[in-house]
Structure 1
Amino acid sequence: MTVSTAREVESHKELERIEVRSLIHLAGETISQFWPMQTFIHHNPLHGLEHLNIHQAIAQAEKFLGGRGYLPNEEYRNLYRQGRILDEAITDAVMPFSENRYVTIGTRNISHIEVLRTILIHGSGTIPHEISDAVFDSLRRDSQVEDFFTRLQSGGILKDADLSLRQQTDQARHDVVNQYTLAAWCDRTFETSLQQQINDELIKWCAGFLDQGHAPWSMPMREKTFYGSWKALAQKEGTGFLLSIPDWKLKLQQLPDRPEDAVLACLQDLDLPQSLWSNVFTLHLAQLPGWTGFLKWRADQVDHEWQKAFPVDLVQYMAVRLFYERELVSMVCHQQLEIPGTYSAITSSLERFPFGFGLYKAFRTGNLAQKMLPALDEGMFTVTPLPLQTLDGWGREADGTWGTIQRERTAKGHALMLHHLARSLGIALTDLTACPPEILETLLGWTTNFPESKHGPLWLQAFEMSYMKRFVNNLAPNLALVREWDSKQEKPEFSRPPAQAMFCIDVRSEGFRRHLEEVGGNETFGFAGFFGVPICFQGFGSEQETDQCPVLLKPKHRVREIPRAYQGKAAEQYLQRQNLAKTGHALLHDLKENVITPYVMVEAIGWFFGFRLFGQTIAPAWYRTFTSWVKEWFAIPIGTTLTVDKLSHEEAEEMVAAEHRATIHRLLIERYGRMGLAVSHDQVDRLRKQALYQAGSDSEDEETLSRLLGWNAAVHEQFLAELRQNHGIHQRAVSRRMHRITQVGFTPKEQAYFVETALRILGFTQGFSRLILICAHGSVSENNPYESALDCGACGGNEGYSNARAFVEMANKPYVRELLAQKGIHIPADTYFLPGQHNTTTDEVELFDLEDVPATHRKDLLRLERDLEEAGRRNSRERLSRLPDEQGMPSLNRSLRLAKRRSMDWSQVRPEWGLSRHTAFIVGRRLLTRGINLEGRTFLHSYDYLQDPTGKYLEIIMTAPLIVGNWINMEHYFSTVDPEVYGAGSKVYHNVVGRIGVMFGSQSDMRIGLPVQTVYDGPTPYHEPMRLMAIIEAPLERISAIIARHDLLQKLMGNQWVNLVALDPITMEFFMYHSSDDWRIIL
């Protein structure tokens, strides 16, 4: 082969690799990204399908994932019987499917829409074929039913369908890699377990490779990538032998080094047409959507420390999966059909023996009538290999009989449907029997063309519209107040409230805000819980950084928590004790996971864990009090502040230089002891510059170092080289360090910008009180892997106190207020901002940085603390009354104790309801909702359209907080309608895996979504699955213009993922969005 030919071949291979990567990436659309558990991010499980209409996306996801997209129809019927779904909403839902036709039965004229309504409410009466004979025979004892069935047959209503065993084979041939992977098709056909075997292998390898420090023995060779480490290690373990794969070690050795080439080789060996590759990839990724969803997320995090250390992506996953499918399918096809395990061989075999395979499938699915079995040798269906040629002969002979039986079953099923319809409509069966054939044919057509599989979207629409109409009617009293306020020519003078508070828009803040306003006449606002300040935060003593903002954003600013200036000694002691605690914890973990030491530990310190076990189980409140006292005694109290101010370039350079000098000084002392200590500051700095700028040393330097340390020129140069190579004292490292340092904090203009933007979004530009609380939120619970799901979604699944503290520190700075005054926002000198955090589990509010509160505001602070405590008691009582295991309405004082106990109880599967049962997202002035009990079901975002004539700030709300609200809503929606596929199932079976998620028992798919205890109350859904109803108080044309500028909003609104409602501020009428030029009034 010539060089040019070799290049052409390699170029062609590279194009094939690119195609494979792009097809696998495209196939991953059906799989939604899954974030690690420690920062649980609510997301839409069908996020990759948002370019489709929601109902189309549900259908596609059902094909690949097998998940249900709606509640069972009977659940909706229960809601209808309870009055939660209105008759008029059902009529509106079925109207587009109805024709302007009616039939006359007896003395009644029955319209098409009435039939559709009846079928929706009472069901279609469809009976499975397997039991239709028994049901029909039991009804046929009634002479009227017998007459009715005779009438249907004699009138030719029940037309014969063309039913043949060959159709079973045609369906099976279509299902191969269109509906099922080759392995799954073999399982369904031959009752094998190939898919489970493949899944078990992939779970094992994924769990080992993706582990983030949870496993006591980490998987070796992970630096070789997922595919590389699997290829190397799979040759050393015996799974290939256990799976009976012939020559498995040799086959593993012969696999290509690149995963794309391995995928291509397997596709070629399976003889899969290129037109089917994308579908094949999607089917494989959908087998374990939890693991592949996490892989998809990891592959996108190119800067993530675990991804950089141990790379993995979906292509590597696919290479491993296709290897196992190729080998196992080949074995089964040889055993069962004596053919190669390829797509072409399988489909050819089905085409050669259509009746034989159809007969075999009918037998396997129980679709052979009992009276057919005596004429067949049942043993022929279970022998290996399968005698398809013999079965094909039998099938040709039995085809007519089978078709006749199927037609009889179909006819009986149709008769039962019409019988059920008559009863549901209240029609006498005798009247229906007397109808002309064309009327019966019409009724049968209306019924069969409206199967129950189509009812889900209509029930959902009726449920949502029923709730929507009640909700907007509930706001009616306040609309009159808004209209009255807006009509006043002169607004009354503003009276400063005792305090003002900015809460997160979270639905759990709604009740707390309402009670805080009632208690002391305080004023509250709602804003996304990161308060418009996207930061990367590192707490004092923590090695981890967290992105404190919605995942849609990437923070450009770093903020660190540092000790206050007077805390130097305390900070050192704090870190020493923290390191001691970490060392003890690591030692205990290593001892527990060791093979030998657990036996000794039980005898030595088992009593200690017994104390903890009994304390947390029997008396959790007392145990928490005791451990808190121990921690307070052991811990060093320390005051901290945040690095909100940005360093100048000169200050940053000096910081880097100081770090370098400290490193050099430490190295000299470690190696030369007192002699190293004698090296002067100036000499250390010269060494730094020599390493950094690679400048040569002068004779004076060499003489000094030779005298102090005994250096010669070679040792001197070796030390400089070590500084560059091992300690990062070179220009590139300095540039990186400078970049990170200059990301810490904000310039004065940036601080003023973030404060101004937040205040203008809220419409909060005047009327400031003396004390303004910026209240973040978080939660505390025991033994709860899903704890971060209860934290702030706008803060990336973290607590939000750091954002609140950063915002407050900015807003209190005099130079920031000067800049704000230049922009027209005049904050009085006596206004003080205060950070706090609402614990949504206990309804306690912790206030931060109290040492900074001026003495002049102490009385204001005491009043606010009293109001917060009382509001917490009231809100706690309201929340507890909704929990199924709390009986009755507790007293105000007892409610806080009960809420605290729930947060401490490690057996509590439901410390709080979290965001369950939410329904709406309101963007508008507080006057719209003040005083109305929204039952903790509504996100409330403050906004004043009068102060936003260009729509700039509404655009920010619609493209960030509203998107997060949609993700939260979709997570809860799908976790409720199918808790096993889209949810995480029951917490009872959960085990944490790899510190990244949970799975059932010791081996399963990683569980995505929310646990059933979060959205269900026993067998009944507690969360009512509806699409988010977003109500925006703003001119319709302003909202339409914003949607038109953003593709994401066009997808969500145009494809009906969100029900968007506008409140026209002029007419005070509600309109529902259908398109930018189609807003329909809600009556």
Structure 2
Amino acid sequence: MTQAALAMSMTAPDPVEARPDARLVARIDSACQRIAPLWPLKQFVAVNPFLGFTGQSFAATAATFERVVRTRMLMPRAFYRQALDDGLIDDAALTQALSVHPSAGLDVDQLMQKARVEAGPSSPPAVVATVAEVLDRLAQGDRYVSLVAFMIDEISAFCASYFDEGQANWPNPARKLRPYAAWRKLAAYDRNPEVMGLTGFRKAVAGLPADPLQAIGLIIDRLGIPERAVEDYLVRALFDLGGWSAYARYIGWSAALDGRRDDTLRELMAIRLAWGFALFQARTDAAFKLAWAQAMEEAARLPADHRLEETPELAVDLVLHEAYEIAVRQKLVAKLATAARASARMPERPPLQAAFCIDVRSEIFRRALETVYPHAETIGFAGFFGFPIEYVPIGHASGGAQCPVLLKPAFIVCEAVKGADDVAEAEVLGLRLLRRRAAKAWKSFKVSAVSSFSFVETAGLGFAAKIATDSAGVTRPVPSPVVDGLDPEIAARVGPRLTPGELGGRVTGFNDAQRVAMAEAVLRAMSLTGPFARLVLLAGHGSTTVNNPHASGLDCGACGGHTGEANARVAAAVLNDAGVREGLRAKGIDVPADCWFIGALHDTTTDAVTLFDEDDVPAGLAPDLAQLKARLADAGRLARRERSALLGIRDAVDVDGALIARSRDWSQVRPEWGLAGNAVFIAAPRSFTRGLDLGGRAFLHSYEAGRDDGHRTLELIMTAPMVVASWINLQYYGSTVNNAAFGSGNKVLHNIVGQLGVLEGNAGDLRSGLPWQSVHDGTRFIHEPVRLNVFIAAPESAMDEIMQRHEGVRDLVGNGWVMLHSLGDQGATIRRCVRPGVWRPHECAGAPRAERDAPRHVLTAS
């Protein structure tokens, strides 16, 4: 059959058959909800890998992963043993941890004895086995005949071609069909399984129902999965393809934001189960039948809950982990409780107010700016600055969402050349389109089947000089992300067309009332209602790296994995608009005429801050602007000194040059540490933490309860920034405790697939989470695996009410995924929320200064 005929045959859908019963559909959907979404590389954002399990406790989830998914979500026991040896965990922490988990049935002495020996097999009472796993057991672990690995490779190859976003030269001919239908059509021509000895594979697939739900129902029935184990079996099947399942979940998540339903994950489940069923059909020997019958007998005896006494080795490690976190939390609470409160006397009207993203990397720069500019006031706020926009670069028909992934963009901002005529704008557009087309043609030439070989032979030496200068960091392997390859004079004028007279025409959906409402909302959410400084800096952030598939993961998560430049410039333009300020005065917010908002971008790799639209700043503020630029440069140098120590370049003669060189080095696997080390979220006035060195580990959100009528801002903080911070924290946690399961492995071995994600090597499942190099420096862990500690200076009753209204927040706190604390008496009193309505004083609020001043300790690898 020709390629054209094959493609035509794959556009005709199979007839739809009867739907399965509602109970099975509910179980399928419940299993799908267990999967956390994975955003593609172009907008890679942090996601809690345990998102589908927050409705149960942290301990129960650890047991579920041991019993069902067959993977750990705790560190190896040697890690905790080393923490004991180093004195990081004391008897008091062990005693407190045992009180949290009394079902472990241990005392301190027994726990210490257990910690001194290596953990034996976890041996849960029963597990849900898959067909491929049983076959692998019969093969006695021979990796060359592993059917689990073969199955994953085959499904992954299909997914890579089906979901491809432009990387493949030869598109999947069945892509117009839904995933399950496309896979069945291709499977009819695929002889790979039968070459591997799976006789009758194509016949087994062809005999399945065309409807994916009907197929799942038939397979569950034919395999004889016990009623008790059906949902666990479905969960296990999806986790076998954890990366592609997560990407399919992302597709459904995105559709839900648009008010649509997408069943891609259901269909991927059907593909995975169909593979298992084909394996089942291919084996008729007595050994397999006996092994499968035994596996189903074990599955029928699955426990009704996740009691720790049924998994004694897990119980030991869980208590040790709890003790480790308690010890970390004690030092943190002691530090906050005894911190000096804003020793510097602040002027009534500060010379500068600078708002930065709550990102932990901003904490270092804010502290540096306050050091070199003592009377400046810094503010923490989500980096999209309250403007959920879709930003469309010039020359593009659509753009990306510049807002947290929990939100849907409300407005569209189109890039244009500010103050330019149509000829100048056409010049910029033409240059970008020409560059894009030339790059596409060049890539096609380099990778085509014929020209690629002759290209290497004839042109290879011509690239020797460029390779040498790129390797030395003299030139960049790719164009600078700031100018996008344009002439610098033109690039300086490119940006959102957001001058006051043009806002209505260039920003879709904005009207006068909406601009005023959004300006009021963002100022009140930042507790910035007066007095206003003469200059107010709105600093988004981004990262400068090259040859880094996960580069967007170092940009602003609050901006959907993009830099915060567009949001900062939009917010500044709106807040500088005379009509908006008039509307704000009517709402009780008086922004003086000599106050100007200016957008900026903080590069977290180099700690350079770029100011935008400087030519719009009134002439009377020129001295203030010059002062700001000088202080930002000083703060950048100070911040680079601090970051250089953790990057291992403290002995460099030119620290500034060394850090800038990392941003250009295409071989650098650790251009910066991102959010590694994050452990704290604080929503309070800056006076609570000013002067306190939090080591770049704290999300700092400005909040003043006295200015928050009805606690509306508090509700926004607890339902959005706090949740996003927990996602970041748990992604780093998962990538640290078990990078093989929740991370993306060795960055050096990554291969981009479909422009969507990465494989580790040339096959296997799509990898999710962070690379190993994001949490470990080769000899020690840089990230400590602790759950997020949240401290909020607000009435406990108000936080209780918010948790009662929002189930997701209540689950995070009540089930131990975040540790919520209240800050009272200017931070001197700290109480922990055990569950909504129950708050208890923290035992270590009065720890001695020697303890709270102890240096940060990083554990070596085990």
TM-score range (shorter-chain normalised) is 0.7 to 0.9
The match for 1:322 is 273
Name which of 810, 814, 823 aligns with 2:574: 810
User: How big is the shift at 1:887?
Assistant: 4.3
Flag the 1:51–1:645 CA change in 2: closer, same or farther, 3 A. farther
CA distance in 2, matches of 1:188, 1:1059: 41
Native 8 Å contact 1:30 1:61 kept in 2: no
Q: Matches of 2:222 and 2:811 in 1, distance apart?
A: 40
Match of 1:226 among 157, 167, 179: 179
Task: Report the Cα distance in structure 1 between the residues aligned to 2:166 and 2:177, rounded to whole angstroms.
Answer: 18
Q: Distance in 1 between matches of 2:393 and 2:130?
A: 48
Distance (Å, rounded) in 2 between the aligned partners of 1:480 and 1:206: 55
2:20 is equivalent to residue 16 of structure 1: yes
Q: 2:223 maps to which residue?
A: 270
Q: Give 1:472's match in structure 2, choosing from 312, 329, 333.
A: 333
Q: What SS does structure 1 have at the residue aligned with 2:540?
A: strand
Q: Does 1:536 align with 2:536?
A: no
Are the structure 2 counterparts of residues 818 and 1046 from structure 1 closer, same or farther at C-alpha, using a change threshold of 3 Å? same
TM superposition shift of 1:39: 0.7
Q: Which stretch has the larger CA shift, 290-299 or 467-476?
A: 467-476
Task: Name the amino acid aligned to 1:337.
Answer: A
Aligned partners of 1:579, 1:128: CA distance in 2, in Å?
59
Contact residue 1036 and residue 1064 of structure 1 kept, 8 A = no
1:326 positional shift: 2.2
Distance 1:60 1:346 in 2: 18
Note closer, same or farther for the CA distance 1:861–1:745 as it changes in structure 2 (3 Å cut): farther
**CA distance in structure 2 between the aligned counterparts of 1:350 and 1:532, rounded to whole angstroms:** 49
1:815 & 1:240 partners in 2: Cα distance? Answer: 68
Q: Does 1:337 align with 2:287?
A: yes
Q: Within 2, Cα distance between the matches of 1:19 and 1:450?
A: 30
Structure 1 position 644, deviation (Å): 5.5
Alignment of 1:967-1046 (within 5 A): 967-1046=727-806
Q: CA contact under 8 A between 2:544 and 2:663: conserved in structure 1?
A: yes
Aligned partner of 1:80 among 74, 77, 84: 84
Give 1:875 shift. 0.2
Kindly tell me: are residues 907 and 285 of structure 1, through their superposed partners in 2, closer, same or farther at Cα, counting changes over 3 Å? same
Distance in 1, matches of 2:661 and 2:299, equals 64
Question: Is 1:554 aligned to residue 408 of structure 2?
Answer: yes
Q: Which of 614, 621, 629 pairs up with 1:865?
A: 629
Q: What's the Cα RMSD here? A: 3.5
Q: Within 5 Å, which residues of 2 pair with 1:630-1029? A: 631=485, 633=487, 636-637=490-491, 639-642=493-496, 744-884=508-648, 886-888=649-651, 890=652, 894-1029=654-789
* Cα distance change on mapping 1:1032 and 1:93 into 2, 3 Å: same
CA-to-aligned-CA distance 1:183-232 (integer Å, 9 cap, x gap): 21222134362322322221121111111111121111210121222222
- Is residue 359 of structure 2 the alignment partner of residue 506 of structure 1? yes
1:350 & 1:284 partners in 2: Cα distance?
14
Q: Which of residues 404, 420, 439 in structure 2 aligns to 1:566?
A: 420
Work out whether residues 496 and 768 of structure 1, in 8 Å CA contact, stay in contact via their aligned partners in 2: yes
- Give 1:322 shift: 2.7
Displacement of 1:347: 6.2
Could you say which residue in structure 1 is the equivalent of 2:146?
A: 193
What TM-score do you get using the length of structure 1 for normalisation? 0.70
Report if the CA contact (8 A) 2:128-2:299 is conserved.
no
Amino acid at match of 1:1006: L
- Contact 1:533-1:754 at 8 Å conserved across structures: yes
State the distance in 2 between where 1:807 and 1:771 align.
14
Q: Secondary structure in 1 aligned to 2:598?
A: strand
Q: Deviations over 1:440-463 (max 9, x none)?
A: xxxxxxx99994421233223322
Q: Equivalents in 2 of 1:58, 1:630: separation in Å? A: 46
| Aligned residue number for residue 129 of structure 2 | 180
In the alignment, which residue of structure 1 is the partner of 2:67? 63
- Structure 1 residues 55 and 644: alpha-carbon distance in aligned structure 2, compared to 1, 3 A threshold: farther
Q: 1:325 to 1:747 in 2, by over 3 A?
A: same
SS at match of 1:222: coil
1:124, CA displacement in angstroms? 5.5
Q: In the alignment, which residue of structure 1 is the partner of 2:5?
A: none
1:985/1:125 CA distance change after superposition, 3 Å: closer
The change in CA–CA distance for 1:573 and 1:286 in structure 2 (over 3 A counts) is same
* Cα pair distance change 1:758/1:539, threshold 3 Å: same
Distance 1:274 1:1044, change over 3 A: closer
Q: State which of 90, 112, 123 in structure 1 corresponds to 2:116.
A: 123
In 1, Cα distance between equivalents of 2:793 and 2:691: 18
Contact preservation (8 Å) 2:599, 2:613 = yes
TM-score by length of 2: 0.87
Q: Residue 223 of structure 1 aligns to a residue in which SS?
A: coil
Q: Deviations over 1:661-708 (max 9, x none)?
A: xxxxxxxxxxxxxxxxxxxxxxxxxxxxxxxxxxxxxxxxxxxxxxxx
Q: CA deviation at 1:287?
A: 0.7
Aligned to 1:585: 439
State the alpha-carbon separation in 2 of the partners of residues 875 and 323 from structure 1. 55
Q: Which residue of 1 aligns with 2:459?
A: 605
Deviation at 1:299, TM superposition (A): 3.2
Flag structure 2 segments of 5+ consecutive residues without an equivalent: 1-14, 301-307, 844-862
The separation in 2 between residues aligned to 1:630 and 1:754, in whole angstroms, is 30
Q: Quick one: distance in 1 between partners of 2:558 and 2:341?
A: 33
Residue pair 2:732, 2:785 contacting (<8 A) in 1 also: yes
Distance 2:766 2:587 in 1: 51
Q: 2:96 aligns with which of 78, 92, 96?
A: 92
Q: Residues 576 and 789 from structure 1, CA distance in 2 versus in 1: closer, same or farther, beyond 3 angstroms?
A: same
Q: Distance in 2 between matches of 1:281 and 1:625?
A: 45
Return the alpha-carbon distance in structure 2 between the equivalents of residues 550 and 980 of structure 1: 27
Matched residue of 1:28: which SS? Answer: helix
Letter in 2 for 1:474: K
Matched AA of 1:221: A
Q: Secondary structure at the match of 1:224?
A: coil
**Paired position in structure 2 for 1:37:** 41
Q: Secondary structure at the match of 1:471?
A: helix
Query: Please, which runs of 5 or more residues in structure 1 have no aligned partner?
Result: 1-10, 102-111, 130-167, 352-446, 486-491, 653-740
Cα-to-partner distance string for 1:852-894 (whole Å, 9 max, x where unaligned) = 111111111111111111100110111011113x243x56xx2
Query: 1:1052 matched to which residue of 2?
Result: 812
Q: Larger % of helix: which? A: 1
Q: Distance in 2 between matches of 1:304 and 1:472?
A: 38
- The Cα shift of 1:631 comes to 4.6
Task: Give the AA of the match of 1:223.
Answer: K
Does the C-alpha gap of structure 1 residues 1060 and 800 become closer, same or farther in structure 2, counting only changes over 3 Å? same
Gap change, CA 1:1060 and 1:895, over 3 Å in 2: same
**What residue is the counterpart of 1:6 in the other structure?**
none
Opposite residue 879 of structure 1, the aligned amino acid is: R
Instruction: Report the CA distance between 1:959 and its aligned residue.
Output: 0.8
Native 8 Å contact 2:133 2:148 kept in 1 = yes
In the alignment, the residues of structure 1 paired with residue 217 and residue 244 of structure 2 have an alpha-carbon distance, to the nearest angstrom, of 23
Q: How far apart are residue 283 of structure 1 and its match?
A: 1.8
Distance in 1, matches of 2:773 and 2:326, equals: 27
User: Percent identity, aligned pairs only?
Assistant: 32
Partner Cα separation in structure 1 for residue 139 and residue 686 of structure 2: 63
- Give the Cα–Cα distance (whole angstroms) in 2 for the partners of residues 478 and 778 of structure 1: 31
Deviates more, 1:528-537 or 1:13-22: 13-22
Q: Which moved more, 1:80-89 or 1:995-1004?
A: 80-89
Query: Relative to structure 1, is the Cα distance of residues 992 and 292 closer, same or farther in structure 2, using a 3 angstrom cutoff?
Result: same
SS of 1:263's partner is helix
Structure 2: which amino acid aligns with 1:915?
L
